[in-house]
Structure 1
Amino acid sequence: MIEKSRVPALEIPLQREESAHEPLTYWQLVWRRLRRHRLGVIGGVVVGILVFIALFADFLSPYDYATQQRQFLFASPTVVHFFSDQGFSIQPFVYGLREITDPVTFQQYYVEDHTKKYPIYFFIQGEPHKVLGLIPTRLRLFGTAQPINTLGQIFIFGTDKFGRDVFSRTLIGSRVSLAIGPFSLIISLFLGILFGGLSGYLGGWVDMLIQRLIEVIQSFPQLPVFLALAYVLPPGWSPTLVFFGIIFIFSFIGWTGLARVLRGQFLALREQEFALAAKAVGASNLRIIFKHLVPNTMSYLIVISTLAIPATILGESGLSFLGLGIREPMTSWGLLLQQANSIPTLTLYPWLFIPSTFIVISVLAFNSLGDALRDAFDPFSIQGGRTRT
C-alpha cells in the first residue's frame, strides 16, 4: 500500500515538468536570449524611436526644414513655460522674443519679452507637407499658430545663421543619416554574398581572382579613399544624386570584408549534405548559393548588418561636416554640424552642436543592439544567458 501510494506522487510532478519545458526552436532561443540583454533591449527601443522620428519627421517638426525666418538669426532655444505671473497654466506657452544689442561687443541676441505670451497648440495647421512622402496635409504636431516671420515662434533647438529651425532640420536630417546606412548595406550585402559565395563555393581560379581583387581594394587606406571619391562627385549634381553617390562610396568599400568572411563560411557549407544534394539534382551555382547556403549564414548577416550601420552614420557625418557629403538644400546630421566648425561659433551659439547628440545616441543604440544580437545568436555566449532545451 505504501509503495503504490508513492508512485503517483512521483510521476505527476515529473510529467508536469516535462510538459513545462518543451524544446524550443532556434529562433525562440534567440528571442529569449535577446530579451535578457538589457542594453540590447534599450538599444532596440531607441532605434525604433529614431526610425519613427525619421518616418514622421514632417509631422513632428513645427516648421519646414528649409523655411528661413530672417527676423530670428541665431535665436537661442525657446523655453517652454507652464508658470507665469498669473500662476500655473495647464497649457504650455512661450514668451515673445526681443532683440538686444550688446553695448560692448555689439553682438545681437534675443531675450524673452514677458509682456507677450503665446500658447502652444497641438495638432495645428502649419506649412504643407506630405506624410511618408505620399499623403499631403498641413497638420503638424505642435506650434504657436503664428504666421512665419512674426513674433511668438517656438524654436526648441534655436535657429541657425539663416533663421531656420534647428529642431525641424534635425528631425528631417535623421532621414538621410539613418537611410544611408541601410541602403549602402543592402548593396554591400548583395556584393559580399555574390562574390564571397562564388569565391567560397567554386574555389579554384575564381577564388584566387576574387581574393586578389579584394586585396587590391583593401590595400588602399579607407579615409583617403572616402575623401577622394566624395571629392570627385560633380558639383552640378542635384542633392538626390549626391545622396546616391555617397551610398555608392560606402558600398564600394564595405563589401570586401563581408565577402571574405562569407567565403570561409561557404567553404565549409558547400560540403554539407544539403548542398551536395542540391547540386546532384541539377541546381545552378547561384541557386545553391542564394537558396541553400545564404539562409545558413543568416545569423551572421543580421549581426554584421546591425553593427555596420553605426560606421556608415559616422562616415556620412564626417564627409558632410567636411563639405564633401550631403549638400544643401538637403540636410543631414553631419551637414548641420558644419555650421559649428569653429570654437568662436560654438562659444556664441552652442545650440548648433545639438545634432551631434543624435549621432552619439544612434551609434550607441545600434552598437548595443548589435552586441545583443551577437550574444543571442552565439550559443557559447555568457552574456546572453544560459539556454535550456
Structure 2
Amino acid sequence: MTAEALTEDTAPPEIKRSQESQAALMWRRFRQHRLAVWSLWIVGLFYFIALFAEFLAPFEPSAYNPRYTYAAPQGIHFTDRDEEGNWTFRPFVYGYKSEIDPAALRRTFVVDRDVKHPINFFVEAEPYRLLGIIPMDVKLFGTTERRAPLYILGADRLGRDLLSRLIHGTRISLSIGLIGVVLSLVFGVIIGGFSGYYGGWFDSVVQRVIEFIRSLPTIPLWLGLAAALPRDWSSLQTYFAITVILSLVGWTELARVVRGRFLALRTEDFVTAARLDGASDWRVITRHMVPNFMSHIIAAATLAIPGMILAETALSFLGLGLQAPIVSWGTLLQEAQNIRTLASAPWLLLPGVAVVVAILALNFLGDGLRDAADPYGR
C-alpha cells in the first residue's frame, strides 16, 4: 500500500477534516445544527412561494366578492363518495349560507353541507404574467366555477381571499428584506472595509458617523423618514424608497463587524506578502482579505434580514410604510386594527403568524451559519 493510499484510508478524522475545503467544513458543521437545517427548508419554502406567487395563489390579490365579506375559513375535505357510494379522492369545500346573528344583529356565514365546490389542480384562470414576464392562464388549484367561494384562510372586509393576499404579500415582505440586506451589505463592506484597512482620520470619521446613527431611536427614525416620503408617489416608488431607508439605517452594525475583521487581517503575513508582491490595495482587499471572512458576512447578512422584515411590517402596520394596492404582511395586518377583527374575524391575524415563523426561521438559519462559519471550532 502506497503512502498516499495509507494516508487516505487510515488517516485520523482530525487529519481528514483539516484536508477539507472551507465550504465542505462549513456544510458539515451546518448539518449538525438540526434546527438550522429545518429553518433552511422553511426559508426556502417561503422564497419559493414568493417566486411563484401568481401561480400558487388561487385568486388575484385585488379580486373581491362583496357577498362573502368576513367569510370564515373553509375546511378542505379530501375524500368524498361518488354516485355509486364508493369513497374517492376528490378534494372539495362546502359552500356558505348566511344567517343573521340575533344577538349582534349582523350577518354570519355557516357551512352549507348541501353545496359542494370541487377543488381541481391546474385550473384555467384569468390571463396573468408570472414574475411579470411569462404569460400564463393556469393556477395551481381552484374551483371550476370562477365565482365559487374558496376561502381556505377566510376573507377580509371586502371579500378578498386572505390566502391569495398572504401569498402575494410574501413576495413583497421577503424581497424588501433581501434587497435591503444586499444594499446594507454593499454599504457595510465598502465603508467598514476601507475604515479598517486605512484607519487614521477616515476611520475616526466613519466611527463617529456610525455612533451617531446607532444612538438615534430606531422606530422614531424609521417613522420620520417614512413620513417624509411624498404622498403622490406611486406604490413602486414607495417600495424602493422604504427599501433604501431601511438600508441606510441598517448598514452600521455590519460595517463594525467588517472593520474589526480588517483590523485583524491587515497585519497578517499573507496580506503583507501580497503588498510586497506589488498587489494594489483593491486587489488585497477583494482577493485576499474579504474571502477570509466571507462566511461571517453571509451569517451577519442572514441575521439582518429579519430586522428588515420587521421594520417594513411595523411601518406598514402603522400606515407610514407601504400602502395599498401593494400587498405585504404589514399592509395585511392593517386589517387587524379594530375590535371586530379580534372578536369575529381572528383569521385576519394570520399574516402575523407568517411574520413570526419567517423571523424565527431566518434567525435560526443565521445562528447555524454563524456557528458553521468557524468550522475548526469543534
Q: State TM-score, norm by structure 1.
A: 0.89
Which residue of 2 is the match for residue 74 of structure 1? 70
Measured in 2, the distance between the counterparts of 1:243 and 1:214 equals 25
Which residue of 2 is the match for residue 17 of structure 1? 10
Q: Kindly indicate whether residue 313 of structure 2 is the aligned counterpart of residue 320 of structure 1.
A: no
SS in 2 for 1:140: strand
Displacement of 1:55 in angstroms is: 0.6
Which residue of 1 is the match for residue 134 of structure 2? 135
Q: Kindly indicate whether residue 317 of structure 2 is the aligned counterpart of residue 355 of structure 1.
A: no
Matches within 5 A, 1:93-242: 93-148=92-147, 152-242=148-238
Contact 2:80-2:89 at 8 Å conserved across structures = no
Q: Which amino acid aligns with 1:329?
A: P
SS in 2 for 1:114: strand
Which residue of 2 is the match for residue 249 of structure 1? 245
Measured in 1, the distance between the counterparts of 2:24 and 2:79 equals 51
Displacement of 1:115 in angstroms is: 2.2
Which residue of 2 is the match for residue 345 of structure 1? 341
Which residue of 2 is the match for residue 3 of structure 1? none
SS in 1 for 2:213: helix
Contact 1:180-1:313 at 8 Å conserved across structures = yes
Q: Which amino acid aligns with 1:215?
A: E
**Cα distance change, pair 82–264 in 1 and its aligned pair in 2 (3 A):** closer
Which residue of 1 is the match for residue 57 of structure 2? 61
* Cα displacement string for residues 362-389 of structure 1 (whole angstroms, at most 9, x for unaligned residues): 11111111111111122465xxxx4xxx
Q: Which amino acid aligns with 2:110?
A: V
Displacement of 1:83 in angstroms is: 5.4
Displacement of 1:145 in angstroms is: 1.5
SS in 2 for 1:299: helix
Measured in 2, the distance between the counterparts of 1:29 and 1:295 equals 15
Contact 2:181-2:247 at 8 Å conserved across structures = yes
SS in 1 for 2:300: helix
Contact 1:63-1:127 at 8 Å conserved across structures = no
SS in 2 for 1:120: strand
Contact 1:82-1:92 at 8 Å conserved across structures = yes
* Cα displacement string for residues 121-160 of structure 1 (whole angstroms, at most 9, x for unaligned residues): 1111012222232211111011112123xxx321111111
Displacement of 1:87 in angstroms is: 6.9
Displacement of 1:219 in angstroms is: 2.0
Which residue of 1 is the match for residue 42 of structure 2? 46
Measured in 2, the distance between the counterparts of 1:183 and 1:163 equals 32
Measured in 2, the distance between the counterparts of 1:41 and 1:14 equals 32
Contact 2:92-2:118 at 8 Å conserved across structures = yes
Displacement of 1:338 in angstroms is: 0.8
Matches within 5 A, 1:256-295: 256-295=252-291
Of structures 1 and 2, the larger Rg is shown by 1
Measured in 2, the distance between the counterparts of 1:126 and 1:312 equals 34
Q: Which amino acid aligns with 1:238?
A: S
Which consecutive residues of structure 1, in runs of 5 or more, have no partner in the other structure?
Answer: 1-7
Contact 1:82-1:88 at 8 Å conserved across structures = no
Displacement of 1:255 in angstroms is: 0.9
Which consecutive residues of structure 2, in runs of 5 or more, have no partner in the other structure?
Answer: none
Q: Which amino acid aligns with 1:270?
A: R
Displacement of 1:311 in angstroms is: 1.2
Aligned counterpart in structure 2 of residue 375 of structure 1, from 360, 368, 371 = 371
* Cα displacement string for residues 146-202 of structure 1 (whole angstroms, at most 9, x for unaligned residues): 123xxx321111111111100000000000110111111111111111111111111
Measured in 2, the distance between the counterparts of 1:30 and 1:115 equals 57
Q: Which amino acid aligns with 2:137?
A: R
Q: CA RMSD in A?
A: 2.1
Q: Which amino acid aligns with 2:354?
A: F
SS in 2 for 1:117: strand
Q: Which amino acid aligns with 1:48?
A: G
Measured in 1, the distance between the counterparts of 2:196 and 2:12 equals 44
Which residue of 2 is the match for residue 5 of structure 1? none
Number of aligned positions between the proteins: 369
Contact 1:94-1:119 at 8 Å conserved across structures = yes
Displacement of 1:290 in angstroms is: 2.7
Contact 1:243-1:326 at 8 Å conserved across structures = yes
Measured in 2, the distance between the counterparts of 1:279 and 1:65 equals 57
Q: Which amino acid aligns with 2:119?
A: I
Percent identical? 45
Measured in 2, the distance between the counterparts of 1:14 and 1:257 equals 44
Deviates most, 135-144 or 100-109: 100-109
Contact 1:126-1:145 at 8 Å conserved across structures = no
Contact 2:29-2:375 at 8 Å conserved across structures = no
Measured in 2, the distance between the counterparts of 1:112 and 1:66 equals 25
Measured in 1, the distance between the counterparts of 2:8 and 2:358 equals 48
Q: State TM-score, norm by structure 2.
A: 0.92
